[in-house]
């Protein structure tokens, strides 16, 4: 299973790529695999103010629904319409084409390293 070292993670299985004051967010391969075939994605709206730790969307699969948690607080500045139109991108490329949304952030929840995330999912 892929856990890119250049990203940060949450214990709720989101990944975060920080670039300046922007946080690009998606769900991890572990979460996508656990959900199974994703058939629907609901993302926060561009312009929405979100609070770290809050539920901001969901990914629905053929077997369950996973909630998307905000790993940062701030304003949503972009969403990935490709995953809304083709939710299977989350399964096939969770760290690339399957990204979910971008936030201009003001603070973050406790983000963990790839090594710490790997230890967390091994528990």
Structural domain boundaries of the chain?
8-111
DSSP state of 50: E
Q: Residues near 102 by Cβ (< 8 Å), separated by ≥ 6?
A: 22, 23, 24, 25, 76, 77, 78, 79
CB–CB of 73/106 below 8 Å?
A: yes
- Top pLDDT among 17 and 2 is at 17
pTM of the model: 0.93
| Class of 8-111 in CATH | mainly beta
C-beta separation of 76 from 92 below 8 A? no
pLDDT of residue 123: 83
Tokens (6 digits) for 58: 């969901």
State yes or no: pLDDT of 81 exceeds 80. yes
Three-state DSSP string of 60-122 = EECCCEEEEECCEEEEEEEECHHHHHCCHHHHHCCCCCCCCEEEEEEEECCCECHHHHHHHHH
What distance in Å separates the CA atoms of residue 117 and residue 58, rounded to the nearest whole number?
A: 21
Mean pLDDT over residues 77-83, rounded? Answer: 97
User: 84-105, pLDDT tens digit by residue?
Assistant: 999 999 999 999 999 999 999 9
| Confidence grade of residue 108 (pLDDT, cut at 50, 70, 90) | confident
Q: pLDDT for 39-54, tens place per residue?
A: 999 999 999 999 999 9
């Amino acid at each position: 299973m892929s856990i890119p070292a250049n990203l940060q993670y949450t214990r709720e299985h989101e990944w975060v790529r920080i670039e300046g004051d922007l946080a690009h967010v998606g769900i991890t391969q572990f979460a996508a695999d656990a959900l199974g075939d994703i058939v629907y994605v609901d993302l926060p709206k561009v312009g929405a103010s979100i609070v770290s730790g809050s539920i901001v969307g969901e990914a629905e699969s053929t077997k369950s629904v996973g909630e998307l948690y905000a790993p940062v607080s701030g304003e949503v500045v972009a969403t990935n319409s490709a995953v809304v139109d083709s939710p299977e991108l989350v399964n096939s490329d969770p760290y690339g084409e399957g990204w979910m949304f971008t936030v201009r952030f003001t603070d973050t929840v406790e983000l963990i390293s790839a090594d710490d995330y790997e230890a967390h999912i091994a528990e």
